[in-house]
Chain A
Amino acid sequence: MTQTIAFTRIRAWLAVAIAALLLAACGGGGSPGDVHPGTDPVLVAGEPNAFLLFPNPQVQPDGSLQTNTAAYAEAYYAAIDPNNTKDTFAKWKTANGFDTANGTQVTAVFGDTRDLGFGRRVTGRQNPDGTLAFFVENYLVKTGGSYAFSPINLEAAIVRDPKSLVYLAAIEFSPGPAGGVSFAKFFNFNVVTGVREPMVDIDGRGDKAMPGTCLTCHGGRADALTPPDVSGKPRFSLLHNVVSRTRGDTQGQLPPFEVDGFQFSTTPGYTRAEQEAFLKTMNRMILCSYPLPAPSAFPEDACRRPASAGEWQGTASALVKASYGGDGLPNPVYADVTVPASWTAAGQTSLYTTAIGPACRMCHILRGTGMQSDIDFTTYEKFQPYADRTYATVVNRGNMPLAKLVYDLFHASPGEETLANFLAGQGFAARDASGKPLRPGRPIADPGPDRVLRQGATRLSGTDSLYANTYAWTIVSAPTGAPAPTLTDANTAQPTFNAASDGTYVLSLVVGNDSAQSAPKLLTLVVNNALTPAPNAIRFSNIKAVLQDGQKCQGCHSPTSPLPAPITFTNDDRDGDGVAGTATDDAWYYAEVRSRINFAEIAASELLRKPAGLHHRGGRGEGFDTSAAPGQPARAKYDLFLNWALNGAPQ
């Protein structure tokens, strides 16, 4: 009996022991604060994620984004380096004279706190022939979580930690394959093999194609490729306003180093005081790449070539000069410029210092041409008319600021408030019901632009709506006495509208996602069965006829124009075979015009906005008065262009 009790107690002890052992073996599962080095930033569903991608990514009929394809990058490399003489980092360095005795070569190391967040080791070189080359070792210590700068990245750049070297970029400013004036060329090399690569993942948000990921903030254009020529391969576009007359000259520029935005180490040899001279040397080199709009006797301008009217005017040179004390660059240390007078005079000092300066200036200052420079935002008067696009891109779409880190910093800064104040003052609903600035990510309905169409079935499109996965179309009004119009597939992005009678119809679209519904957005459709040509019959020839109507467009959009435009509408020898106006020339002409349609946001297409007088040196063209109702003669050509674009811009 005693022994039985004893064994029972022992079993109880053992049971407790086993239970304790099992409990002890249970894992905690990890805490939310745990960080695993090497993991990429966490993507948050529903947040904007189109960073480093051109606002017009050249959507193709199959839905692909042409500027973000390897084919686009390959065409670019083929244009700037047709014989692959720079297809590895080693060959590129040799071609640019690195580590040779002649020329000037300096290296600077800093933390890029407000651009891409890397620790950066930049080596710049100016050769005796005036060519420039820079390569940048970008270091990122991946610690998962949110995407942000960390001083550890700077440490990695100082010690050149190979595990943290994530991106090896290079830019050279040199003549094209056939010689001529120098222009900027962008390269991306594999950090391990050194092989030139077409795609790059800069911000942990997936691969993006060269050179677009660079050009987004280097001032260049990313027009669509031109169709295959006799080589069978599509060729990189030829911009008509570049002095080099070379494919691959995207008008991309070398941005200056904004030293005040960098973080420096306290490690001897890498302090700001010790890096300043190197950075000034590089900024002086970069200044040499900027065209000079007016003669200058200052020594730092002696290396600059005269600017042509149709190209970028070296606008960023003013920033470089001002930051080093003005002409002559007298100051050894960089100091950011004061607020430009225009902004102060407009009472927008705060807007400039909190929003434009930190989040917009560096990319925009590299844009614009001598003919049309308002996109550079150097004055308030240039910025203010862009309020609609600012609202669309910053508040609604979330593709500006166009780099993730800058985007995050902007929305965490007072700049968000000051921009909301500005936009509210311009008549835009920039705040929510509680008064907070609106942010991208909420569903926004976009039923497309108001338009004129014929009787019968017309497919509508709400695919430009934002952050939406549900669609609800309704007919709000129809002409009195008209047969009731029909709307099929009204709960899809692309319903079919069918009206049997002329008149004005108003529809409404509400979109939603898993968390919210949008405000309704109205769409006015003017049905006119006498419309000619019918919207689905519009072809490029109809568009071309408008573009080539006398000198209305061709007066400037011609290779012989004294006021050169970025695109020509004349029948040029685009393929360079010696004969102008061939079928190949026409196919390339079509590609260039189609390139100015933004199929990701039709209403933002330059083909529609420019002739409508928006940021167009030529003002508003006849037939492009968008203040008139659809179908009115005053906007007949706009309607023609719009319907062509809405129909996919068939050739």
Chain B
Amino acid sequence: MAPGADAAVRPAASPGSPWSLLDRVQIDLGYMYDDNVTRGRAADEILADQLLALNVSAGATLRINDNARVVVTGMFTGEKFHAYNGLSNLSGGLQAELQYRQSAAFDAVTFGAFARGWLDNYVSHLRDGGHFALGVNAQSAVSDRIAVSGEFAWNRRSAQSEVWDLDYYSARLNLDYSLGRSGTFYLNGEYRRGDSVSDGRPSLVNVSLAQVFVLDDAFPGKQLYAYRYDARTWVATIGYNVPLNSQASIDVSWRRAQATPTSRPDFDVQGSLRYVDNQYSLFLLMVF
């Protein structure tokens, strides 16, 4: 139930009509502290920052039959960084998802296949471009308290700089544990395999790992180079969602990511090649 996640409350289509427009609108407003916005590996490459974020999503649903429907969701996000404004961005896009549920049974699994695309506009123009993802997912209630979902996706990102031309696969598993009126506790784990980006000094290690690099315009005066490399990335999120009323909730979470290059230089390297990033967030979620 993290910010930006699909709202749990999904009003049904009007009786007799196969469609509903703007059947849900969700607005997330929050704050995040990120202890490694550069995704840097070495101490002198790591920069921390904090940001304010706004996510707005709105969806429409087309009922196909009793078991299937198409959900189209429009998404808009904005992030404003405090220290490194180059990372500030506005993004907007759409997701179309075909959902299928075999029955109306409580524990019936809902399967989905989706395509998602959005455009990014950063203050750092090197990052400007778009994302595209294709994937499948499944979600089910295990009990009246526990819900699980999973997703596998292929992701592609294109940008002004080839450094952010990324290609990777991701697999995600989510567990929601409801505490009733007290809220929902959730765990989320994600594994990504493919391109990743870090910022670092123009060192031999970084150049050896890099497929392509560029002087990063998001950190002026820092002489940091963003470089793309092939990596295994683990992302784990633990969070708690506290309902305020039927339409609003507070969400707090801790997200930890670590990426390890899939290859090592041909020489001895002191220290780890892995980067670790922690993000601490507090969001207000509103559903209309």
In the complex, A101 has a CB within 8 A of chain B:
no
Of A14, A141, A143, A163, which contacts B266 at CB under 8 A?
A163
The CA of A161 and the CA of B264, in the complex, are separated in Å by 12
Of B119, B161, B210, B215, which contacts A30 at CB under 8 A?
B161
Of A28, A151, A155, which contacts B165 at CB under 8 A?
A28
In the complex, B144 has a CB within 8 A of chain A:
no
Contact A14 B96 (CB under 8 A): yes
Question: Contacts A6-B19, A10-B62, A163-B266 given: A28-B159 contact, CB under 8 Å?
Answer: yes
In the complex, A600 has a CB within 8 A of chain B:
no
Which of A34-42, A213-221, A383-391, A393-401 has 4 or more CB atoms under 8 Å from chain B?
A34-42
Which of A19-27, A326-334, A342-350, A363-371 has 4 or more CB atoms under 8 Å from chain B?
A19-27
Contacts of A31 in B (CB 8 A): 126, 160-162, 214
Q: Which residues of B from 209 to 265 have beta carbons under 8 Å from A?
A: 210-215, 265
Contact A33 B215 (CB under 8 A): yes
Contacts of A28 in B (CB 8 A): 128-129, 158-162, 164-165
Q: Mark B93-134, 1 if CB is under 8 A from A, else 0.
A: 111100000000000000000011111000000101111100
Contacts of B208 in A (CB 8 A): 37, 141, 161, 163
Nearest-CB distance from B157 to chain A (Å)?
A: 8
Which of B3-11, B190-198, B199-207 has 4 or more CB atoms under 8 Å from chain A?
B199-207
Contact A159 B160 (CB under 8 A): no
Contacts of A629 in B (CB 8 A): none
Contact B214 A33 (CB under 8 A): yes
Q: Which residues of B from 21 to 74 have beta carbons under 8 Å from A?
A: 21, 60, 62, 70, 72, 74
Question: Contacts A31-B126, A141-B204, A143-B207 given: A22-B117 contact, CB under 8 Å?
Answer: yes
In the complex, A91 has a CB within 8 A of chain B:
no
Contact B72 A13 (CB under 8 A): yes
Question: Contacts A6-B17, A9-B19 given: A24-B93 contact, CB under 8 Å?
Answer: yes
Question: Contacts A28-B158, A28-B159, A35-B212 given: A141-B207 contact, CB under 8 Å?
Answer: yes
Contacts of A33 in B (CB 8 A): 126, 161, 214-215
Contacts of B211 in A (CB 8 A): 36-37
In the complex, A16 has a CB within 8 A of chain B:
yes
Chain B residue nearest to A9 (CB atoms) is B21
Of A35, A152, A155, A159, which contacts B214 at CB under 8 A?
A35
The CA of A6 and the CA of B17, in the complex, are separated in Å by 9
Interface core residue of A3, A24, A141 (most chain B CB under 10 Å) = A24
In the complex, A160 has a CB within 8 A of chain B:
yes
In the complex, A156 has a CB within 8 A of chain B:
yes
In the complex, A2 has a CB within 8 A of chain B:
yes
Contacts of B18 in A (CB 8 A): 3, 6
Question: Contacts A35-B214, A152-B204, A159-B204 given: A24-B17 contact, CB under 8 Å?
Answer: no
Contacts of B60 in A (CB 8 A): 9-10, 13
Nearest-CB distance from B22 to chain A (Å)?
A: 10
The CA of A36 and the CA of B17, in the complex, are separated in Å by 55
Contact A20 B117 (CB under 8 A): yes
Q: Residues of B within 8 Å of A, CB-based: how many?
A: 49
Contacts of B207 in A (CB 8 A): 37, 141, 143, 152
Contact B119 A24 (CB under 8 A): yes
Q: Which residues of A from 518 to 536 have beta carbons under 8 Å from B?
A: none
The CA of A4 and the CA of B251, in the complex, are separated in Å by 40
Contact B165 A24 (CB under 8 A): no
Contacts of B161 in A (CB 8 A): 28, 30-31, 33-34
In the complex, B282 has a CB within 8 A of chain A:
no
The CA of A160 and the CA of B165, in the complex, are separated in Å by 31
Contacts of B175 in A (CB 8 A): none
The CA of A16 and the CA of B131, in the complex, are separated in Å by 15
Q: Mark A155-191, 1 if CB is under 8 A from B, else 0.
A: 1100111111000000000000000000000000000
In the complex, A150 has a CB within 8 A of chain B:
yes
Question: Contacts A3-B18, A25-B158 given: A17-B202 contact, CB under 8 Å?
Answer: no
Interface core residue of B93, B116, B130, B211 (most chain A CB under 10 Å) = B130
Nearest-CB distance from A619 to chain B (Å)?
A: 56
Nearest-CB distance from B267 to chain A (Å)?
A: 4
The CA of A27 and the CA of B156, in the complex, are separated in Å by 10
Nearest-CB distance from B206 to chain A (Å)?
A: 9
Nearest-CB distance from A473 to chain B (Å)?
A: 50
The CA of A24 and the CA of B95, in the complex, are separated in Å by 12
Contact A159 B117 (CB under 8 A): no
Nearest-CB distance from B62 to chain A (Å)?
A: 5
Contacts of A164 in B (CB 8 A): 204
Contact A20 B118 (CB under 8 A): yes
Chain A residue nearest to B205 (CB atoms) is A155
Contact A36 B212 (CB under 8 A): yes
Of A13, A24, A143, which contacts B132 at CB under 8 A?
A24
In the complex, B187 has a CB within 8 A of chain A:
no
Nearest-CB distance from A33 to chain B (Å)?
A: 5
Nearest-CB distance from B220 to chain A (Å)?
A: 13
Contact A23 B62 (CB under 8 A): no
Contacts of B204 in A (CB 8 A): 141, 152, 155-156, 159, 161, 164
In the complex, B163 has a CB within 8 A of chain A:
yes
Contact B17 A2 (CB under 8 A): yes
Interface core residue of B117, B119, B132, B207 (most chain A CB under 10 Å) = B207
Of A30, A161, A162, which contacts B162 at CB under 8 A?
A30
Nearest-CB distance from B70 to chain A (Å)?
A: 8
Chain B residue nearest to A30 (CB atoms) is B162
The CA of A17 and the CA of B207, in the complex, are separated in Å by 38
Chain A residue nearest to B127 (CB atoms) is A28
Contact B131 A24 (CB under 8 A): yes
Chain A residue nearest to B73 (CB atoms) is A17
Contact B118 A155 (CB under 8 A): no
The CA of A16 and the CA of B92, in the complex, are separated in Å by 12
Contact B203 A34 (CB under 8 A): no
Contact B202 A152 (CB under 8 A): yes
Contacts of B266 in A (CB 8 A): 161-163
Contact A17 B126 (CB under 8 A): no
Contacts of A17 in B (CB 8 A): 72, 94-96, 115, 117
The CA of A72 and the CA of B87, in the complex, are separated in Å by 58
Contacts of B265 in A (CB 8 A): 161, 163
Nearest-CB distance from B277 to chain A (Å)?
A: 24
The CA of A248 and the CA of B136, in the complex, are separated in Å by 72
Chain A residue nearest to B13 (CB atoms) is A6
The CA of A24 and the CA of B133, in the complex, are separated in Å by 9
Question: Contacts A25-B158, A159-B268 given: A20-B214 contact, CB under 8 Å?
Answer: no
Chain A residue nearest to B204 (CB atoms) is A155
Interface core residue of B17, B126, B160, B215 (most chain A CB under 10 Å) = B160
Contact B119 A20 (CB under 8 A): yes
The CA of A24 and the CA of B121, in the complex, are separated in Å by 12
Contact B214 A23 (CB under 8 A): no
Of B19, B96, B118, B213, which contacts A24 at CB under 8 A?
B118
Q: Mark A275-310, 1 if CB is under 8 A from B, else 0.
A: 000000000000000000000000000000000000
Chain B residue nearest to A267 (CB atoms) is B270
Question: Contacts A31-B160, A156-B204, A160-B267 given: A24-B117 contact, CB under 8 Å?
Answer: yes
Nearest-CB distance from B50 to chain A (Å)?
A: 28
Contacts of A6 in B (CB 8 A): 17-19, 21
Chain A residues with a Cβ under 8 A of chain B: 2-3, 6-7, 9-10, 13-14, 16-17, 20-31, 33-37, 141, 143, 150-152, 155-156, 159-164
**With A6-B19, A23-B117, A34-B214 given, can you name 20 additional A-B contacts, CB distance below 8 Å?**
A10-B62, A17-B94, A17-B96, A17-B117, A20-B118, A20-B119, A24-B93, A24-B129, A24-B131, A24-B158, A25-B130, A25-B132, A28-B128, A28-B164, A31-B160, A37-B213, A159-B267, A160-B267, A163-B265, A163-B266
Top 5 A-B pairs, shortest CB-CB distance: A24-B130, A21-B117, A24-B117, A17-B94, A155-B204
Q: List 23 A-B contacts (CB under 8 A).
A: A3-B17, A9-B19, A9-B60, A13-B72, A13-B94, A14-B96, A21-B117, A22-B117, A27-B165, A31-B214, A33-B161, A33-B215, A34-B162, A34-B163, A35-B212, A37-B213, A151-B202, A155-B203, A159-B204, A159-B267, A159-B268, A161-B204, A161-B267
